[in-house]
Each structure stands twice: as structure tokens, then as C-alpha cells.
Chains A and B, each alone.
Chain A
Amino acid sequence: MNIEQLPIINLILFLFMALLIPLLKRRPFKITLILGFIVMCLVLASSSHLLWHVNEVGSFSYTFGGHEARYGIEFLLTPFSALFTWVIIILAMIIYIYSSGDATEGIEQSEYGRYYVLLFILLLSMFGILYTNDLFNTYVFIEILSITTCAIISIKKKKDTYTSAFRYVMMNEIGSLSYLFGVALIYMATGYTNISMVSESIQVAFASYPFNIVIALAFMVIGLGIKAAIFPFHIWLPDAHSSAPSTSSAILSAIVIKVYLLVLVKILFSVFGIDILEQMNMPLILLILSGTAMILGSIFAIAQKDVKRMLGYSSVAQVGYILLGISLLSFLGLRAAFFHIISHGLMKTALFLSVGEIIFYKKTRKVNDFDGMGFIMPVAMGVFSIAALGMIGLPLTSGFISKLNLGIAVLENNYLVFLVILIISSLLNVIYYLPIIILAFLRNEKYHYRMTTIEKTPRTMITPLILLGILIVSLGLFPNVIMPYIEAAVETFIS
């Protein structure tokens, strides 16, 4: 076996598993779960190997069917794609283990199989998006991704689920089509869809067809903005979160949104390049978007009564942080953005999963019902607190490192205003996260008696939570372990 085939083997493994699950319908469900876990372990092993290989030996590309890259599909393995596929598979594994502890609340027993089929197709499309070096191929994977995401959101058979799923699919379709329109315009101006080739000829194309490029960029940024829930386009997100099962919310918030942001990074840096972006005033547009997202996302989060909606709006604000890092168009900025993608992925997963456990057992999602929850579910609430403190940006959590990175990056560009916005946004985070922790651990100890009445949480649900807590703290303590990989990933775009 050749190392160059490993990425394709990853995809095939996912596809194979997705096809296998319906065939195993008659067998006990445990077999499916174990097989799925084995597949994930294999993918994790190969992704880790790829990460090592790409960083130690060097990037490589693979063209399908031996066609020339210009006509065919090319997979490009850079430190960037290797790192983020690795992060995605780790997060997905944690969520997978958790969901196997039958916390997929609200899903009927017969739908379990379908849920896992969707999960594997979702992973396949995300891996594809990151590996591929072709604009149109990216579109194909994006379509797969949005349709599966829609299905995974609406897997609960409830009326409000369908409305929010419908809104999601409409908005995302607008986004995908905008993206496709952008791709078409670029193809028209340059004659390529392969990213490396487009980037070589885009300067010339920009000189001869400036309007094509401008409109393409605008459509692509807005299209991906809708999908990544950047502030004024976040409208589908809170509803989708509040109606989806918790594991789906975790996947959506922690992974799917980030993948679209990564595509945006790819488009901005690899396709258009910093020169064109600066000429078109793109940094300013992105800065304005990110600033509003950071403040208004948090303000809307404060007002929410439903905890999952609140977490959704918090994601909107956090996407603002990542976008801020991207829009600085600098090495440090991109480094901060990438680090925050990882750290926010961990924290949001932890938040959604712990909230999921609480919803599963207490059947409540009102923030005000959280009193005394710390005594009923110490582990879930403990991990929730660690992640929430991380969101606030207290030291010893990965959130602090993100803030430190972002602060340094902002200062490098001398945007003192954004330093202030960063601090204000952190304070707003304090206002909505802190009362929940206080409520859960200190208020209303009359719930003490319930400690004995509660069902014992399955170990498969507790373990991933504890793992996430440990990861958040250790990433907060020793960020330098992962920094070289992130820096290598940044160097794919900015040397």
C-alpha cells in the first residue's frame, strides 16, 4: 500500500461503514457500534500517520484515475488538511462514544442505524472537503455535507424539528448555490477549477476580468458565511440547535461550522491570495462582520432561556473570534484562528454533551432549571463548568490560550479597537455562563436527595466527558505541544 492512497482509504472506510450499517439491521446493534468504532480507530490511526508524514516528510498530492490535475480530481495532503482531519476524527470519536451510550435523546430506536449512517457520510464529506484541491469537488462535498447535516438535525420526528430543518436546508442551499456561482465565475475567468492552478492565474484574470473576481469573491464569502453562521447569516443556527439532538448539535457546532470556516480560509488564502483581498478591502469587511458577531452573538445569548439556544448563540460569537483571526490576514492571526477552531471545538463539544446528558435525564432545557444540578450530576456539570470557564477565557483552559493568541495577533495589526471588543465579548461571556455555574453548584441544595434517585449514567457517556475536560485543561496548560502542527498548517497559506 502506498502512503498516497491513505486519504482515499479513509474515505472508503467511511463509505464502507455507512453502507454496512443497513445490512446489519437484523443483527444486535452492538455489532454495528463496535464495527463503527473499529473503523474510526483505523481512520484515526491513518490520520495520525498522515499528520506525522506530512509534517516530517512533506506534502503530497494524489490524482484520481491518473487524469491530469486540470481535468481530474486532485487530493492534496498538506499540514493543514492533515491537522484538521485529525482534529475532526478525534472530536467525532468522542461524540461517537458518547452517543453510543444511548444519549441520542428523542431518536426512536429504529432510527439509530440511520443516525450512524448519516454520521459516517458526514465524516466522509468533511474529510473530502479538507483533502480535495478542486473548487468544484469541494462544492460536491459541501452539498453532501449540508444534506446529511439537515438529515441529522431533523432525525427527531417532531414538528418544530421539521420547520427548523427546512429553514436550515433553504439557507444552506442559498449558501451552496452562491458558492457554486462563485466557482462558475472563477472558472469563467481562469478556465480552471483546480485550486493550485486557479491561484497561479488569478492575478492575470483579475487584471482582465475584475468584475468576475469581485462578484465571485462576494458570493463565495457570503455563501460560506451562511454555512459557517457568521453573524447576520447565523439565522438558521439557533433553531437548528434547539431542536436537534445534543450529539447532532455538538457535531454541528464543533465540527461542521468549522469545516466551512476552513473552506473559507482555503478560498481566501489559496484561491484569491492576500494581494487581491487587500485590494478589494476584504479584511475590513471581515473585520466588521467578526466584530458584530463577537458582540451581538453574546448579547443575544444573554437573553436566551433555552440552554441549547444559548450555546448556539455563543457559537455565533465564537465564530466571530475565529473570523477575526482570519481577517487579520497574518501569520499570527491565522494561527490564533486555527488554535481557536480546535479549542472551541473541544469546549463546545464538552458543553453540548454535558448539557445533553442533563437534558436526557432531567428532561429540561431551561437555564433556570439548572439549580442544584451540580449535586445531581457532578461530572456533567463539572465538565460544563470547565468548558464554560474556558469560554470566558480563564487561564488553565484552552480558551485562555486562544484569547492570548488572538490578542497578540490583533496587536500586531495595531487594531486596538478589536482588543477592546475581545475583552468586552469575554465579559459578556461571563454574564451568561457564570450564573449557570453558580446556579448549578450553589443554589438550592434541596435537590441533594435526588442523588440517590437518579439512574446511573452509562460509562460510555461519562468517559468522553471526562476526556474532554482533561483535553481542555491540558491544551490550556501545554499548548506548545500542538503549536508546531498548527504553525505548519498556517505555513501552507502564509509563509
Chain B
Amino acid sequence: MKIRKMKVFDKMAKTNTLLVVFAMLLLSLFIAYASDWFSIKETFSNSDFYQTIMIAPWIQYLPIIIVVIPILGAIIEVLVAKKSIDERDKSVIYMGLLTLVIVVFIYPLALDDIIRLELPNVLLLGLSFRVDMLSYSVLLLSSFIWFFVMIYAHEYMKKEEKSTRFFFFLALTYSSVLGALMSGDLLTMFLFFEIMTVVSYMLVIHGQNDSSYKAGYNYIIMGLIGGFLILTALLLVYFNVGDLHFASAIERFDELGNLKYWVMGLLVFGFGIKAGMAPVHVWLPRAHPVAPTPASALLSGVMIKVGAFGIIRGASSYFFPSKDVVTSVNDPIWLTSQNIGAFIIWTGIITMALGVFLALQQENMKKMLAYHSVSQMGYIVTGIGVALYLGYQGAMGYSGAIYHIINHALFKSLLFMIAGVIYYHTKELNMYKLGGLWKKLPFTTLVFIVAALGISGFPLFNGYVSKTIIHHGLTEAYHYGSSSFIFAEIIFIIVSAGTACSFIKMGYYTFFKKTENNYDEIPYDYSSHDIALWAMALMIILIGLSPKFIMSHLIIPQLNMTTYDPDFINHYILGLNVFAIKDILTTLGIVGLGIIIFLLGKKYHLFHLRLPKWLSIEYIFFLPAYLLMKNLCRILYGDKCPYNEDDFKKLSEDDIEKVGFIDRFIITSNVLNRRYESSIIRADAMIYTVALLFVIIFMINLL
């Protein structure tokens, strides 16, 4: 094969490469500082500079600064966009870089947990910010991914319309994500969460066609429902505890009986909607594929993690006893979190199984990836469940969940970006219509292999580490807890095999299958796409090769902060060796099983099986409501029912993709309105008399 000459069309490719190299240097500086190479940590933390910073008053305002930078970036971006597109992209990228730099440099402050900001009097109950290690680890991850996606988006959005609007709302979303991560109480979190829902809606409907409107409507309605659930939980917490700060409230909750389960249920489902947890995941597989690729990468990579983050935050603060009270796992105070944990584990297991099952049926690459997001969120939710279920000794589940949040963010954004590159060049997302791309896009193929190995949990790649940890957690759950979790473990293994199979399938059909298409129009070039992809792939490999780093410098500080058994942490988490022979063999077995499923599926065309539409979760869930709405008019006035033919046809539609729940509700309310509005208005005197009579009777009767 002769070596072709590589072209560079992208004017900013060179500067972008330098910026990414700079980001990588930052990362290595971070690694060097965290693992105390050349004892820089010690030198730095003893230096006068650091000591003065520690007491400087402006340090408290860092969260505000970090939140405001993207907003300013958004405004500057809109102003600059009138002059030139390249300048605009530069402003977007530098905004990401600036945030990244600040976030990297606050590591020592986060480690000491000194960034706390209280803003009383704002929003009635007051806002507060706090950067501890839990928020910091997600913060660091988000800022890195956001920066790389910005570099990628610069190239990708050239082919999309209205990119200025897109970048504007992307920046606002970034600001709200950062705010939600740094929040110190539930109200602040709720505030940024709602802002995130609203502004990211603009990203979902960016395509402005029918499918994106439909997906977007679904997205925002479910997002707002989630918001209202959190609001209810917030009210319950505020009223019963009197304080919304993320601090232990379990002793107060224990006096309230079953109300505590309601609070946690509301929190889990409220945040779970955003996190794509089954059965409230339905918006995710619709919304993520229709958004432009950079947005899907960020939606799947970062935003749904904020949902998982919310669950962890709420559960590990409100529902954990405070550190100085508890000494053993047998304390009855753990009972609540145990019950909730068992429930969450099963939700997580169902989520992962459902996600992978539906993912295997998809032919649209982005849709498949979106279903995998659901499935992978299932892993995270399971991890959270274990963290709660085992109470004092749940550190393994907790670290698994956090670790998987980090890993999934990396490989899922990378995979979406790869799908985006393919779409950018071929305008095709259906994987069965593609093939043979490895010749034309060799870099992308390589990166895809890295990401696929990551998500399938192959040893030496990042997914392996976190999946193994969650697996350990599940094993502990059935050792120390109920033995029914052995089934959970079995499902876990099958799902992992399904994941592997799914990506073998995607790789085979898009990159390696023989096809007649030559794809001559694909240029052999070097662009900002490739830089961003390589940077992310590098991070995946780095984590896979040295899993200890994240564990000891990001996760262990969190574990020490949370109410977990210090002995357990020292013994099991610090001494954890993920490369044990048993684990590697299990993983290899899982991958082997995946290959077998793939071969069987390909031979017997199992991937083309479709479930009937009425079997979808949404339909089954709303079935009683649908039947009621369809027959309401018949029930109310027999044959004289004033339905239009059209309305009735829409109400009897089986396909929920065509007529959703809200549409049906609106039609029903129209019918009710047609029937009752004027008759109520005409019955004025009647209503007056009857109401008066009833009020008097009511009052006298009970005198």
C-alpha cells in the first residue's frame, strides 16, 4: 500500500494541536502534582504563595468565577461571530481552555475542601457553593471533555447551520453544569439543574426538523417533570430538616417514618430522569441522536452524569449518618440506606439490561450509542445502589460508580464523536449501509478500536477498571447482603457480553465489512477532529494502564470524606488489584461470549428482530391513561359524544411515536372544553345557588 500524502484544510488545525498539547501538559502537571513527583506538592503547599491564597477572601468566589466565565464566553462569542467564524470558534475554545486551567489549578484547594461560598438572601432560602473532591472529580472530567469537544465542534459545526446559536447555548449549558457540580445545597443544585434542562433543550432541537422537535418536546417535558420531583423533595427536606446543605440528615429522617423513602424516591427519580435511568429513560434514546454530534457527545458524556452525580450527592449526604456517630456497619441507622440501596441496585440492573437489549436492535449508530448510554448509566446506578446498600462498607460500590462516571464520559463522548466524524464524511448514520471505512479513515478506525475496547471492558483499557470494581461491589453485595444479588451478577455478566457484542457489530459493519462504496470523496486530511479524538483516546489508554492514579488521587479523598469504614478503605480499596488473574479471565470470558453472540446474531439475523411498538415501556406505562382518555367521552355521554373523527383516530393510535401522551391529553381536554365550557358559563345562576347552598349546608352541618 502506498502512503498517501496528508492534507490540512483546517486553518486552525495547527493552533488547536498546540492547545491540545498544552491541555495535555496541564494534565501531566496535574498528575505530577497529585502523585507528588519531585515533591512539588510539598514544596508548593508549604510555599508562602499557597499560604496567602488559603486565607485570601477572593478564593471563596471561585465558584462564581467559574460559572460566570462560560456565560461571558457565550456573550463574547455572539459578538465576535458577526465578524468572522474562525474568531468565534477561537473565543469558544479559549473559553473552554480558561475554565480548564482554573479547574486544574484549584485541585489543592478542593483537596483541603476550603472553597465554600454562602449567598444568603438569594432565592429566599439562600444559595451555597462548595467544591469538595466529589464535585472536583466530576468538574475536572467535565472541563477536559468540554474542551476537547469544543476543539472537535469547531470543525464539525462548519457543516451545520446556525452554529453561533449552538455555541451560545452550549456555553450556557456548560455554565449550568459547572454550577450544578459545585453546588453546596439542594436548592443551588436544583437551580442549575433547571437552567441546564432549559438551555440544553436548544441543543436537542438544533436540527429544527420534526423528529428533533418531537424528541425535544419529550426531553423538556420529562426534564421539567424531573425538576418538579426534585422540587418536591427539596420542600420536604427543607420543611423537615430545616436546612438544605448537603449534610447528614438521617437522624431527623428516621423520626419521620416512611416519608424518608418518599424523599429519596423523589430524588432518585428526579435526578434519574436526567441520568437516563429505567423506566424514565425514554427521552434519552430520542434526544441524543437528533442533537448535533458535539451536543450528543456532551449530553451523553457529561450532562447525564450530572443526574448520577445528583443521586450520589443526595444519598451520600442526607441519607448517610455523620462520620463521628457511626462506628460499625451493624448500626440500625444504616437500615434506610440499605433498603433504598437494594431498590437502586435492581433499578440499575434493569436499566443496564434494557439498554443493551434495545441497543442491539438499532441500526442508527447514534441511537445505538444512546441506548448504550442508558445501559452504562445502569452500571453507574448499580454502583450507587451498592454504595448505599452496604452502608458503612459500601466504599467499593461508591468508587465503582465514580470511576465509571469518569470512564463512561470519556469513551461515550469519544464514540459519539467518531459517529460524528463518519456522518461528517458520509452523511450516513445507518451502520448497515456503511462499510470498509478503515481504508479511508484509518485514524478514526484506530481510535474507535480504543474506545470500543474501553466500553467493552477489555483489560488495559479504562472500562475494564471500573466494571471490575462495580463487579467486586456486586459480589460483596451478595456476600454481605441478600443472596438474590447473585442473579444481578449474572445479568451484569450477560449485559457486559452484550456490550462487547454490540461494539463488535458496530465496528464490523462500519469499518471492516466489504462494500461496493469507494468513498472517494473522503479526503485524507488532518483536522481538529483528529486532534480531539486522539487526545481522548490517549486519556482512555492512560487510565487503563495505570488505574491506581484516579483511585488514589480523586476517589480515595472522597471516600475519606464520606461516612465509610476507614479500615475497609485501607484494606480493600487501597489494596485493590484490578489485574487479578480471576478478573482478567472473567473479562476475557465476557468478551468471548460477546463474540459468540455476535456470530450467532449475524448468522441468524437476530439483530433485525423488532419488538412490536405497543410493547414499548412508554406505551405499557401509559396504557390505562390511554384507554381512559379514549373512552372518556363515551363514558360521559354515551353515543352523543362530540369527538371529531380525527381526534378519535388520534386517540386510538397504537404507535406512541406518532401521538404521545401529552398530545392525547390535549385532545381530551379539547373535547372536555367543547362539551363543558359554554354550559358552565350558561349555568351561572345555577352554580351560584348550588354553591351557596352547599357552603351553608357544609358549615351548619358541622356546627
The verdict on A214 contacting B696 (CB below 8 Å), with A232-B691, A395-B195, A431-B662 known, is yes
- Among A214, A411, A412, the residue within 8 A (CB) of B236 is A411
Is the pair B703, A218 in contact by a Cβ cutoff of 8 Å? no
- Complex-state Cα separation, A174 to B686, whole angstroms: 12
Q: Mark A409-430, 1 if CB is under 8 A from B, else 0.
A: 0011000000100010011001
Q: Mark B263-301, 1 if CB is under 8 A from A, else 0.
A: 000000000000000000000000000000000000000
Is the pair A303, B670 in contact by a Cβ cutoff of 8 Å? yes
- Among B239, B684, B698, B703, the residue within 8 A (CB) of A171 is B684
- Among B238, B669, B698, the residue within 8 A (CB) of A408 is B238
- Answer yes or no: B424 CB below 8 A from chain A CBs: no
A–B pairs, 23, beta carbons within 8 Å: A170-B684, A174-B685, A178-B692, A221-B695, A225-B691, A232-B680, A235-B684, A238-B681, A280-B703, A285-B699, A300-B669, A302-B666, A302-B670, A303-B670, A303-B673, A396-B191, A396-B195, A404-B123, A404-B124, A431-B662, A434-B220, A438-B216, A478-B121
- Answer yes or no: A239 CB below 8 A from chain B CBs: yes
- Complex-state Cα separation, A312 to B638, whole angstroms: 31
- Answer yes or no: B225 CB below 8 A from chain A CBs: yes
Q: Which residues of B contact A (CB under 8 A)?
A: 121-125, 190-191, 194-195, 198, 205, 208, 213, 216-217, 220-221, 224-225, 227-229, 231-232, 235-236, 238-239, 662, 665-666, 669-670, 672-674, 677, 680-681, 683-685, 687-688, 691-692, 695-696, 698-700, 702-703
The verdict on A226 contacting B696 (CB below 8 Å), with A395-B123, A431-B665, A477-B122 known, is no
- Among A218, A238, A392, the residue within 8 A (CB) of B696 is A218
- Complex-state Cα separation, A392 to B236, whole angstroms: 20
Q: Which residues of A contact B (CB under 8 A)?
A: 167, 170-171, 174, 178, 210-211, 214-215, 217-219, 221-222, 225-226, 232-233, 235-236, 238-239, 279-282, 284-285, 299-300, 302-304, 389, 392-396, 400-401, 403-405, 407-408, 411-412, 419, 423, 426-427, 430-431, 434-435, 438, 442-443, 476-480, 483
- Complex-state Cα separation, A218 to B231, whole angstroms: 36
**Residues of B contacting A178 in the complex (Cβ-Cβ under 8 angstroms):** 692
Is the pair A423, B232 in contact by a Cβ cutoff of 8 Å? yes
The verdict on A392 contacting B224 (CB below 8 Å), with A285-B699, A404-B125 known, is yes
**Residues of B contacting A233 in the complex (Cβ-Cβ under 8 angstroms):** 687-688, 691
The verdict on A480 contacting B670 (CB below 8 Å), with A403-B231, A426-B228 known, is no
- Among B123, B228, B702, the residue within 8 A (CB) of A479 is B123
Q: Please give me the residue from chain B that is nearest to A225 by CB atom.
A: B691
Is the pair B695, A218 in contact by a Cβ cutoff of 8 Å? yes
Q: Please give me the residue from chain A that is nearest to B225 by CB atom.
A: A427
Is the pair B672, A303 in contact by a Cβ cutoff of 8 Å? yes
- The smallest beta-carbon distance between A216 and chain B, in angstroms, is 11
- The smallest beta-carbon distance between B232 and chain A, in angstroms, is 6
The verdict on A300 contacting B695 (CB below 8 Å), with A214-B700, A431-B662, A479-B123 known, is no
**Residues of A contacting B696 in the complex (Cβ-Cβ under 8 angstroms):** 214-215, 218
- Complex-state Cα separation, A411 to B122, whole angstroms: 22
- The smallest beta-carbon distance between A438 and chain B, in angstroms, is 7
Q: Please give me the residue from chain A that is nearest to B684 by CB atom.
A: A235
Is the pair A480, B224 in contact by a Cβ cutoff of 8 Å? no
**Residues of A contacting B662 in the complex (Cβ-Cβ under 8 angstroms):** 431
The verdict on A394 contacting B125 (CB below 8 Å), with A303-B670, A408-B235, A423-B232 known, is no
- The smallest beta-carbon distance between B166 and chain A, in angstroms, is 13
A171-B684, A478-B121 given; 16 more Cβ-contact pairs under 8 Å? A167-B684, A215-B696, A222-B695, A233-B687, A235-B687, A238-B677, A280-B699, A280-B702, A303-B674, A394-B194, A400-B123, A405-B124, A411-B236, A423-B228, A438-B205, A479-B123
Q: Please give me the residue from chain B that is nearest to A299 by CB atom.
A: B669
The verdict on A479 contacting B194 (CB below 8 Å), with A300-B677, A431-B666 known, is no
Is the pair B124, A239 in contact by a Cβ cutoff of 8 Å? no
Is the pair B673, A300 in contact by a Cβ cutoff of 8 Å? yes
- Complex-state Cα separation, A98 to B489, whole angstroms: 67
**Residues of A contacting B685 in the complex (Cβ-Cβ under 8 angstroms):** 174
- The smallest beta-carbon distance between A371 and chain B, in angstroms, is 12
Is the pair A285, B695 in contact by a Cβ cutoff of 8 Å? yes
Highest count of chain A CB atoms <10 Å: which of B224, B235, B699: B699
- Complex-state Cα separation, A219 to B693, whole angstroms: 10
Is the pair A219, B691 in contact by a Cβ cutoff of 8 Å? no
- The smallest beta-carbon distance between B49 and chain A, in angstroms, is 36
**Residues of A contacting B691 in the complex (Cβ-Cβ under 8 angstroms):** 222, 225, 232-233
Q: Please give me the residue from chain A that is nearest to B162 by CB atom.
A: A445
Highest count of chain A CB atoms <10 Å: which of B121, B225, B674, B691: B691
Is the pair B228, A427 in contact by a Cβ cutoff of 8 Å? yes
- The smallest beta-carbon distance between A423 and chain B, in angstroms, is 5
- The smallest beta-carbon distance between A396 and chain B, in angstroms, is 7
- Complex-state Cα separation, A435 to B665, whole angstroms: 14
Q: Please give me the residue from chain A that is nearest to B198 by CB atom.
A: A394
Is the pair A282, B699 in contact by a Cβ cutoff of 8 Å? yes
- Complex-state Cα separation, A238 to B677, whole angstroms: 10
Is the pair A281, B194 in contact by a Cβ cutoff of 8 Å? no
Closest 4 A/B residue pairs (Cβ): A303-B673, A407-B235, A411-B239, A480-B121
Is the pair B688, A438 in contact by a Cβ cutoff of 8 Å? no
- Complex-state Cα separation, A263 to B62, whole angstroms: 49
**Residues of B contacting A239 in the complex (Cβ-Cβ under 8 angstroms):** 681
- Among B194, B220, B235, the residue within 8 A (CB) of A419 is B235
- The smallest beta-carbon distance between A203 and chain B, in angstroms, is 15
- The smallest beta-carbon distance between A450 and chain B, in angstroms, is 19
Is the pair A401, B695 in contact by a Cβ cutoff of 8 Å? no
Q: Please give me the residue from chain B that is nearest to A445 by CB atom.
A: B208
- Complex-state Cα separation, A431 to B508, whole angstroms: 44
Is the pair A303, B669 in contact by a Cβ cutoff of 8 Å? yes
The verdict on A401 contacting B205 (CB below 8 Å), with A395-B190, A411-B239 known, is no
Is the pair A395, B191 in contact by a Cβ cutoff of 8 Å? yes
- Among A167, A218, A393, A430, the residue within 8 A (CB) of B699 is A218
- Complex-state Cα separation, A210 to B685, whole angstroms: 27
- Complex-state Cα separation, A357 to B208, whole angstroms: 27
- The smallest beta-carbon distance between B669 and chain A, in angstroms, is 5
Is the pair A478, B122 in contact by a Cβ cutoff of 8 Å? yes
**Residues of A contacting B229 in the complex (Cβ-Cβ under 8 angstroms):** 423
**Residues of A contacting B680 in the complex (Cβ-Cβ under 8 angstroms):** 232, 235
- Complex-state Cα separation, A394 to B198, whole angstroms: 9
- Complex-state Cα separation, A45 to B190, whole angstroms: 39
Is the pair A404, B235 in contact by a Cβ cutoff of 8 Å? yes
**Residues of B contacting A442 in the complex (Cβ-Cβ under 8 angstroms):** 205, 208, 213
Q: Please give me the residue from chain B that is nearest to A404 by CB atom.
A: B124
The verdict on A430 contacting B702 (CB below 8 Å), with A303-B666, A404-B235, A408-B238 known, is no
- The smallest beta-carbon distance between A17 and chain B, in angstroms, is 35
**Residues of A contacting B677 in the complex (Cβ-Cβ under 8 angstroms):** 238, 300, 303
Is the pair A302, B698 in contact by a Cβ cutoff of 8 Å? no
Is the pair B688, A285 in contact by a Cβ cutoff of 8 Å? no
Is the pair B703, A477 in contact by a Cβ cutoff of 8 Å? no
Q: Please give me the residue from chain B that is nearest to A288 by CB atom.
A: B698
**Residues of B contacting A211 in the complex (Cβ-Cβ under 8 angstroms):** 700
- The smallest beta-carbon distance between A105 and chain B, in angstroms, is 24
Q: Please give me the residue from chain A that is nearest to B662 by CB atom.
A: A431
Highest count of chain A CB atoms <10 Å: which of B213, B238, B666, B669: B669
Q: Please give me the residue from chain A that is nearest to B695 by CB atom.
A: A218
Q: Please give me the residue from chain A that is nearest to B262 by CB atom.
A: A416
- Complex-state Cα separation, A232 to B690, whole angstroms: 10
Q: Please give me the residue from chain A that is nearest to B121 by CB atom.
A: A480
Q: Please give me the residue from chain B that is nearest to A282 by CB atom.
A: B699
**Residues of A contacting B191 in the complex (Cβ-Cβ under 8 angstroms):** 395-396
- The smallest beta-carbon distance between A64 and chain B, in angstroms, is 34
**Residues of B contacting A304 in the complex (Cβ-Cβ under 8 angstroms):** 673
**Residues of B contacting A395 in the complex (Cβ-Cβ under 8 angstroms):** 123, 190-191, 194-195
- Complex-state Cα separation, A211 to B696, whole angstroms: 10
Is the pair A222, B688 in contact by a Cβ cutoff of 8 Å? yes
- The smallest beta-carbon distance between B647 and chain A, in angstroms, is 12
- Complex-state Cα separation, A394 to B695, whole angstroms: 36
- The smallest beta-carbon distance between A480 and chain B, in angstroms, is 4
**Residues of A contacting B703 in the complex (Cβ-Cβ under 8 angstroms):** 210, 214, 279-280
